[in-house]
Structure 1
């Protein structure tokens, strides 16, 4: 409701200003965006009543329009991953109870495989020459022929989107987001990054992720800024768009920032307009922050969140990175956080058992988190602690300045010779080596120690030199030092949010 009220005000105030720019420089004003989303909401109501929708789209105008139309309808739009398989996507559609699918030409083959599996009889195709299928209509024709005088839902508890967890270790689970919590998340980002109508933000992370939706797209629309839409991340093209459109803001996960730094070294790009980079999604090494500050912008904002939290739980301002390198900062505006004694994944941590500063424990949070998972009661039972705390399953510690650092996942811990080791601690130490571009640490079965620490390093470096480096590292105890190294030129397997896929690393490099 509040997002819609503010969006109407933006349309009234900035109707002639550019809201969206595509990769081929096609533009759409706020006035056009307002009219088209009214018409789209009308078109969807006419076809499916008050049912939910699902979208399989690349970053583009239709994705933004579907988000806004869902808000106006008060019925959620399920934002599907364009990297999903047909069976997985079909389950997502069924879980969301969607009755219409909107898809674009880039995803036509996969979308039609989903249609073949489902009982959907309404689909809108974004692009020229809609396929000859009885359930498929032209998206553009549907919008152009619909009534643009739409009476939007006025209810802060109305639905807005169904988003999915990344599914790096299990089947993706669905989160139903409502207008009130999305508004809080969006407003939080506006305050944290001090956004205004003169900002130009590049959207290169997939729009179906929670952080892209609530911490990037909605906040910039809320203030009347311009969104430059890149269909899919490609480092040289991303750098070109940053330069060509005088982009002021970039959202990118650490692996993307590494790729952009490589692209920057190979081209001649003007990034003088870039004033803020928002990152997160994986542990950000101090060395990466330093290189981004030197070559892209000093305005590096490090954040931490999870889909179940809707809003980001923490935020670290650029100046905090100098005093506490790698920190995710402190609790964001709407959150209370605690670091408590970690419990096994199938056990429940005690919310009163807080750990001392400097000690590691599990992070739990109290704030405007999701009510639970759609149609997944077994997983939902492990989500909450005492009914009021969200269990993150992430291990963290608080440094001497009172700032949080994410250490690892609870279920990533390995035990070597009776000692508990969190892989990301070792990865951060190795990432400081100047020849290391990427690193993954996993537990490798060992007859004597139970598990030994194995490291896969992307870079031009000798394993013996790495071992000596780890022996001399001030922040790495000797029992945490890797006993096995693999050096490779191949990029490490990651999810599209930048999450390291450790099971694939272990299988690929240490199964022999």
Structure 2
């Protein structure tokens, strides 16, 4: 028998039926037994409406979002976990290849959901919170549960859900995952963080992301731990939840981690129970790790993953980060990683051409937990794999001890005067200036050099000061130094996981 996500959840129900599985900000609590019954009802209710068909969900992070995830696992039919920040037009495009026959939505997303319903062939929807239930095609969530017997239906397959790439360089793409594929990722997280039934974890990131799903929600449910749901991230409120619930863990991307550090400095919270913070998605600087260790916990775990491969390709524990700041560690359990040469043409890609220590190249990997490809995107799926290896599209440097450091995305590379420049490596050096709060680097067309480097900075500084700082730095070659600056930006456009949206930076500031 191959273990999968719902098998792991069922074990927690058997072993810890009276323990809290989910707590919400408004004081609601669901034990494992209660969550099991409600998701049995929901699974059966969904079957009564659409048979074995897939569903889609537009919702903020909530108990109901978790229930939709588990109910879909029980049905074995995928739930398309749609990013609620997307426009109706974008969501319609994401839905087209999913074959979803039902849309589940909550009150904050009702207007968007109804716009999507009116532009698709989906004929039935379920509303959390009672919005729009006067429509013939919309059913009330709680009413559906109440009128359905808690008898789990036979599964229609082994699907978990459809998750979406962040779309920082191209349009967001749907990735279908089977339950056993995600089980590998969630089990890695349980092992590497040492999660058990005594843990209490605050959920701060949108539930539809791979990292929230497979590195936070599923692992804690697998271990019989408790999830504290925060619908929208707010640093002081997050710290209050950690204090109130004696939370042991929190997931926070680096931009959120900055906010938590600032809030902890400004307020008084009892964070003594907090023992592990999982972060990743962008660079964790030495200064940030030090500040988080001082004000939050010294248990900072830097991780590396991607939607197509899962949340845990590589993992750096607190001890390694102290010794090697900024590293994402080495390959995780069930993964084999390589850093290989990036050829001038995709046709010349060679997964055996590993780089030497100190050099950079593209990270590739293979694992039983990686995806099989993109939904209805055969050409992009073909580009994703090379002889069974998953191409991450991320550029990394490997040191003499085999530790990895993410440099940037292959797609972000700027060619200036025939030299390769990765924006992230320039950003890291600029960010070391004490007056810089945030920075984004992009390439601009240049008749002489092909592209020239430009930087957008949020902070109390000026172009002359920054240029002198970079000229004096031993960590940045002169050809990588920006030739153009925009100083005084109010904020920089980012994804919900904290990654810079470079196309928006380019269009907004240049």
Q: Which moved more, 1:231-240 or 1:73-82?
A: 231-240
| Alpha-carbon spacing, 1:315–1:374, altered in 2? closer, same or farther (3 Å) | same
* Secondary structure of 2:338 counterpart: strand
Structure 1 residue 403, shift from structure 2 partner: 0.3
Alpha carbons 1:287, 1:431 under 8 Å: kept: no
Q: Which residue of 2 aligns with 1:486?
A: 486
Deviates more, 1:340-349 or 1:161-170: 340-349
Shift of 1:439: 1.0
Whole-angstrom distance in 2 between the partners of 1:125 and 1:248: 33
- d(CA) in 2 for partners of 1:113, 1:154: 30
Match of residue 149 from structure 1: 151
Q: CA deviation at 1:423?
A: 1.0
Residue 373 in structure 1 maps to residue 374 in structure 2:
yes
Q: How big is the shift at 1:154?
A: 9.1
Quote the residue 1:5 is aligned against. Answer: 7
Q: Deviations over 1:200-226 (max 9, x none)?
A: 111111100111101110000011111
Asked whether the equivalents of residues 202 and 251 of structure 1 are also in contact (C-alpha less than 8 Å), the reply is yes
Alpha-carbon distance, 1:76 to partner: 0.5
> Is residue 164 of structure 2 the alignment partner of residue 173 of structure 1?
no
CA distance in 2, matches of 1:182, 1:131: 34
- 3-state SS of 2:308 partner: helix
Q: Is the 8 A contact 2:43 2:153 kept in 1?
A: no
Q: Which secondary structure state, in structure 2, belongs to the residue aligned with residue 308 of structure 1?
A: coil
Q: Distance in 2 between the 1:324 and 1:152 partners?
A: 49
Contact 2:304 2:311 in 1 (8 A): no
- Is the CA contact (8 Å cut-off) linking 1:99 and 1:122 kept in structure 2? yes
- Give the counterpart of 1:116 among 115, 118, 127: 118
Alignment of 1:271-286 (within 5 A): 271-286=271-286
| Matches of 1:412 and 1:345, distance apart in 2 | 15
- Inter-partner Cα distance in structure 2 for 1:61 and 1:231: 9
- 8 Å CA contact 1:104–1:127 kept in 2: the answer is yes
Unaligned runs of at least 5 residues, structure 1: none
Shift of 1:244: 2.1
Residue 493 of structure 1 and its aligned partner are, at CA, apart by 0.6
**Alpha-carbon distance, 1:322 to partner:** 1.0
Give ranges in structure 2 of 5+ residues lacking alignment.
none
Q: How far did 1:152 drift?
A: 4.5
Could you report, residue by residue, the CA deviation over 1:76-115 in whole angstroms, capped at 9, with x for unpaired residues? 1110111011111122222211001111111100001111
Distance verdict in 2 for CA 1:244–1:347, change over 3 Å? farther
Deviation, 1:257, is 1.3
Deviation at 1:130, TM superposition (A): 4.7
Task: Name the residue aligned to 2:58.
Answer: 56
Q: Provide the residue aligned with 1:92 in structure 2.
A: 94
SS at match of 2:471: helix
CA RMSD after TM alignment: 1.6
Equivalence for 1:504: 504
When structure 1 is superposed on structure 2, of 288-297 and 370-379 the one drifting more is: 288-297
Among 112, 126, 132, the residue aligned to 2:128:
126
Is the Cα–Cα contact under 8 Å of residues 339 and 361 in structure 1 kept in the other structure? yes
Q: CA deviation at 1:311?
A: 4.2
Aligned to 2:239: 239
Shift of the 433–113 alpha-carbon distance from structure 1 to 2, 3 Å rule, reads same
Moved more, 339-348 or 196-205: 339-348
TM-aligned CA deviation for residue 310 of structure 1: 2.4
Distance across 2 between alignment mates of 1:401 and 1:432: 25
CA offset digits 1:243-273 (Å, max 9, x no partner)? 2222211111111112222333332222222
What TM-score comes out, normalization by structure 1 length? 0.96
Whole-angstrom CA distance in 1 between matches of 2:284 and 2:272: 23
The 1:442–1:341 alpha-carbon spacing in structure 2 relative to 1, beyond 3 Å, is same
Instruction: Note if 1:192 corresponds to 2:192.
Output: yes
On the 8 A contact 2:412/2:422 being kept in 1, the answer is: yes
Report the secondary structure of 2:383's partner residue.
Answer: coil
Q: Distance in 2 between matches of 1:417 and 1:164?
A: 36
**Aligned residue in 1 for 2:463:** 463
8 Å contact kept, 1:345–1:410: no
Instruction: Go from structure 1 to structure 2 and tell me whether the alpha carbon gap of 1:92 and 1:129 turns closer, same or farther (over 3 Å shift).
Output: closer
Shift of 1:4: 1.9
Query: How far off its partner does 1:348 sit?
Result: 4.9
| 1:39 Cα deviation from its structure 2 partner | 0.8
Say yes or no: does 1:104 pair with 2:106: yes
CA contact (8 A) 2:210 2:310 kept: yes
Separation in structure 1 between the aligned mates of residue 449 and residue 297 of structure 2, nearest angstrom: 45
Aligned counterpart, 1:472: 472
Q: For 1:120 and 1:169, how far apart are their aligned partners in 2?
A: 29
Q: Secondary structure at the match of 2:118?
A: helix
Match of 1:302 in 2: 302
Post-superposition Cα deviations, 1:266-285, rounded to whole Å, max 9, x if no partner, equal 32222222111111112222
Measure the CA separation in 1 of the matches of 2:14 and 2:71: 17
Residue equivalent to 2:38: 36
User: Contact (CA 8 Å) 1:339, 1:354: kept in 2 or not?
Assistant: yes
Matched residue, 1:21: 23
CA contact (8 A) 2:197 2:224 kept: yes
Seen in structure 2, the aligned counterparts of structure 1 residues 497 and 200 have a Cα distance that, compared at 3 Å, is: same
Q: How many residues are treated as equivalent by the alignment?
A: 507
Work out the CA distance in 2 between the residues paired with 1:427 and 1:471.
14
Deviations 1:406-452 (Å, cap 9, x if unpaired)? 00111111122222111111111122222221111111233332322
Change (3 A) 1:203 1:345: farther
